[in-house]
């Protein structure tokens, strides 16, 4: 008989993906004052996938728990996750402190143990720091198999088949639970959450804890020296014929 599936979805609060971030005055990061924050898009895909798996395997999936490590305002994205179909949630409140992927992974390991999770679905990367590390490090800390950059997930009993986006194609792998999955863009298209669902989500559990509760000390080991905008692109030139294009390219020594 296959075991019950308890899914954990870690979600990160980041500057809204539709905004163009501006570098702050000290050139040490992006400006966060007066800016809209939302759930990291890859985490949104992870929530959607967890809910899809639960809907398709009602008997097998016991629960979906979401966790966010961040400031008190990260409660907003947990409420969104609850509205999308997550059952329960935890905010690990670290205030305004920046937290590096290894520490995130260490905290997530504690949450996995506490919730007895056997399937963790994370985003492949957070669009603010582009680390692309947390899922991999969590798999290492737990000693679990991992299927990164998933574009398709099929659950069959205790086994999960994952199609991964790899350079120039797709790779399909199979693993037994417990398992770590990280989501790629093509896995699904997250649905918008409706107001009635948002209202109902207010009644769902959202527990707030401090990192000390897990015995994990937050230490910053990296110092950001400088953050720069990409160099501005120089204006292009319009050509009126193929001959002109060829001679321009020759002039630029591109041919």
- Burial zone of 100 (CB within 10 Å; 0-12 exposed, 13-18 middle, 19+ buried): middle
Could you report how far apart the first and last alpha carbons of the chain are, in Å? 65
Residues 6+ apart with CB under 8 A from 144: 138, 178, 179, 180
Structure token digits, residue 255: 């041919």
134-142 vs 101-115: helix crossing angle, rounded to 10 = 50
Min CB(69)–ligand AMP separation in Å: 4
The one-character DSSP state at 30 is B
Shortest distance, CB of residue 251 to ligand AMP, whole angstroms?
Answer: 43
Gyration radius of the chain over CA positions: 21
Segment 17 to 36, residues that bind ligand AMP, using CB under 6 A: none
Q: Which is nearer to ligand AMP, 60 or 102 (CB)?
A: 102
Return the number of the residue (227 or 249) whose C-beta is nearest ligand AMP.
227
CA atoms within 13 A on the CB side of 145: 12
Our finding on whether 10 is near ligand AMP (CB under 6 A) is yes
* DSSP conformational letter for 46: H
Q: Which positions from 103 to 142 touch ligand AMP by CB under 6 A, shown as an x/- string? A: -x-----------------xx-xx--x-xxxxx-------
Tell me whether residue 85 or residue 123 sits nearer to ligand AMP (CB atom). 123
Question: Per-residue contact track with ligand AMP, 63 to 82, x per CB under 6 A?
Answer: -----xxx------------
CB of 104 or CB of 155, closer to ligand AMP: 104
Interface size with ligand AMP, residues (CB under 6 A): 23
* Chain position whose Cβ is nearest to ligand AMP: 123
| 150-189 residues near ligand AMP, rule: CB under 6 A | none
Applying CB under 6 A, does 211 fall inside the site for ligand AMP?
no
CB atoms < 10 A from the CB of 226, how many?
A: 8
Contact 65, 7 (CB under 8 A): yes
**Contact footprint for ligand AMP (CB under 6 A):** 10-12, 40, 42-43, 46, 68-70, 99, 101, 104, 122-123, 125-126, 129, 131-135
């Amino acid at each position: 008989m296959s075991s019950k599936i308890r899914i954990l979805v870690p979600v990160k609060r980041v500057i809204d993906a539709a905004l163009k971030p501006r570098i702050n005055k000290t050139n040490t990061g992006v400006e966060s004052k007066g800016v809209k924050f939302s759930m990291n898009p890859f985490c949104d895909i992870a929530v959607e996938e967890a809910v899809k798996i639960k809907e398709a395997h009602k008997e097998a999936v016991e629960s979906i728990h979401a966790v966010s490590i961040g400031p008190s305002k990260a409660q907003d994205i947990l409420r969104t996750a609850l509205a999308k179909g997550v059952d329960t949630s935890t905010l690990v409140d670290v205030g305004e402190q920046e937290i590096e992927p290894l520490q995130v992974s260490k905290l997530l390991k504690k949450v996995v143990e506490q919730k007895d999770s056997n399937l963790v679905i994370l985003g492949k990367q957070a669009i603010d720091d582009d680390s692309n590390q947390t899922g991999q490090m969590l798999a290492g800390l737990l000693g679990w198999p991992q299927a990164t950059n998933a574009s398709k997930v099929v659950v069959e009993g205790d086994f999960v088949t994952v199609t991964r986006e790899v350079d120039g194609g797709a790779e399909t792998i199979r693993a037994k639970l417990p398992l770590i999955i990280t989501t790629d863009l093509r896995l699904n298209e997250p649905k918008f959450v409706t107001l009635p669902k948002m209202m109902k989500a207010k009644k769902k559990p959202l527990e707030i804890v401090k990192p000390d509760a897990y015995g994990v000390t937050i230490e910053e080991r990296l110092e950001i020296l400088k953050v720069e905008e990409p160099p501005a692109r120089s204006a292009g030139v319009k050509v009126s014929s193929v001959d002109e294009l060829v001679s321009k390219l020759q002039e630029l020594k591109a041919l």
